[in-house]
Amino acid sequence: MTARDEILGRLRAAAPPDPGLPDVPPGEARPGDLAARFGDAVVAAGGVLVALPGEAALGPAVAAHAEKLAARRIASRVAAAGPGTVRLEDLADPHELEGIDLAVLPGRLGVAENGAVWVDGAALHHRGVFVVTQHLALVVPAAELVPDLHEAYRRLRFDGPGFGLFIAGPSKTADIEQALVIGAHGARSATVFLI
């Protein structure tokens, strides 16, 4: 036996037993309300959840949110939220995204386990909009909440080449000293409007 084998043997003997993973079948909801779990996860990721009773309440809620943020340049890809002041499809160059205060984007589904929202790239027009904007608002139908990423990946379909991403909260980064900085590389805030 080499010294390496002896050291590894001692480490294996001292290690606690493997607790294993919980026995939860993929896609099966765990106890608790899915919307409440999603809301808790959104907040844990640094975001804000605004639950709305229906699509008709979205326009006034987004307008109040924009007023609170003092947002002047607003890009909206969600019809019920209002047109905004900037039409993304009219911007020929992604550099014209500079100065967008609030981007309102449709989320296809929300994941209760981590507060992530899937955004289909086809809805963005310019991929950089969710990074360049000062504040991000994602609109998610409550009927499209899933318990975990396993179920989320089962629901995603790609008909060809494309782009999409999961977004959980505002931009975050931390250094080796564990100093957390919000908004360093993207949106300074993320609000999820749950319809």
Mean pLDDT, the chain, whole residue set: 89
Residue 186 in domain: yes
Higher pLDDT, 189 or 157: 189
Q: Per-residue pLDDT tens for 93-130?
A: 888 889 999 999 999 999 999 999 999 988 787 888 88
Q: What total of structural domains would you count in the chain?
A: 1
* pLDDT score of 30 more than 60: no
**Residue 5 within any structural domain of the chain:** no
- pTM summary value: 0.82
Q: Distance between CA atoms of 56 and 138, rounded to whole angstroms?
A: 16
26, pLDDT greater than 60: no
What pLDDT score does 94 carry?
84
Residue 177: domain span: 33-194
Kindly state whether residue 146 falls inside one of the protein's structural domains: yes
Mean pLDDT of 24-42: 75
Judge whether residue 92 has pLDDT over 60: yes
Note whether 93 and 79 are within 8 A (CB).
no
In a domain, 122, yes or no: yes
What was the pLDDT predicted at 31? 47
What integer is the mean pLDDT of 151-179? 87
- Give Cβ neighbours of residue 167 (< 8 Å, ≥ 6 apart): 107, 116, 117, 119, 130, 136, 138, 190
**Residue 134: inside a domain, yes or no?**
yes
Torsion angle of C-alpha atoms 66, 67, 72, 76, degrees rounded to 10: 20
The span from the first CA to the last CA of the chain, in angstroms, equals 64
Which range in 30-34, 81-85, 190-194 is most confidently predicted, on average pLDDT? 190-194
The CATH number for 69's domain is 3.40.50.10420
Q: What percent of the chain shows pLDDT beyond 90?
A: 61
**Closest Cα partner for 117 from 64, 78, 84?**
78
